[in-house]
A = this chain, B = another copy of it.
C-alpha cells in the first residue's frame, strides 16, 4: 500500500485531499491498469468490470462518459462507441488500498456485449452453472453481424 492510502485510513469523514495527489498514488498494476467496477446508480446492479489506465480514468472524470482501456484492442475504449450503449458517470470512489475503482453509472440499455443488461449472468449453483438473464437486444443489432 502506498503511504498516501495508508494515511487516508485514519482520515476523518468528509476530509478532502487534492485530486492530483490521490491519482498519483493509485496502485496501477504492472500493465498500468486498475480494475473498474460499474454499478447502476439507482438499482444497485453491478453491470460489469473492466480496466482503466490513468488516461482512461482522467478522461472519464473529465467528460463524465466512462472510458476504459481495452486490453484486447490495446486502446482507449469509450463505452458505447461501437454499440451506442453509453455509460455515464455519476460518481467514482477508490478503495482503501488505492488499487480498485467503483463507479456509480447510468447505463443506457445493455452493458454486456452479449446484449444483456449485466455481464454477470453465469450463476454458480451447486453442481451446475445456470444462465440467469437473456439479452435485451440481439448483439447483431448492437454491433452488426460479426
The residues of A with any CB-CB pair to B shorter than 8 Å are 5, 8-19, 21-22, 35, 37, 39, 43-46, 48-49, 61, 91-98, 100, 102, 112-114, 116, 119-134, 139
Contacts of A14 in B (CB 8 A): 130-132
How many angstroms from the CA of A133 to the CA of B9 in the assembled complex? 10
Oligomer copy total: 2
Q: How far is the CB of A117 from chain B (nearest CB, A)?
A: 12
Q: How far is the CB of A65 from chain B (nearest CB, A)?
A: 15
Contacts of A113 in B (CB 8 A): 9, 96
Q: How far is the CB of A67 from chain B (nearest CB, A)?
A: 14
Q: Are B91 and A123 in contact (CB under 8 A)?
A: yes
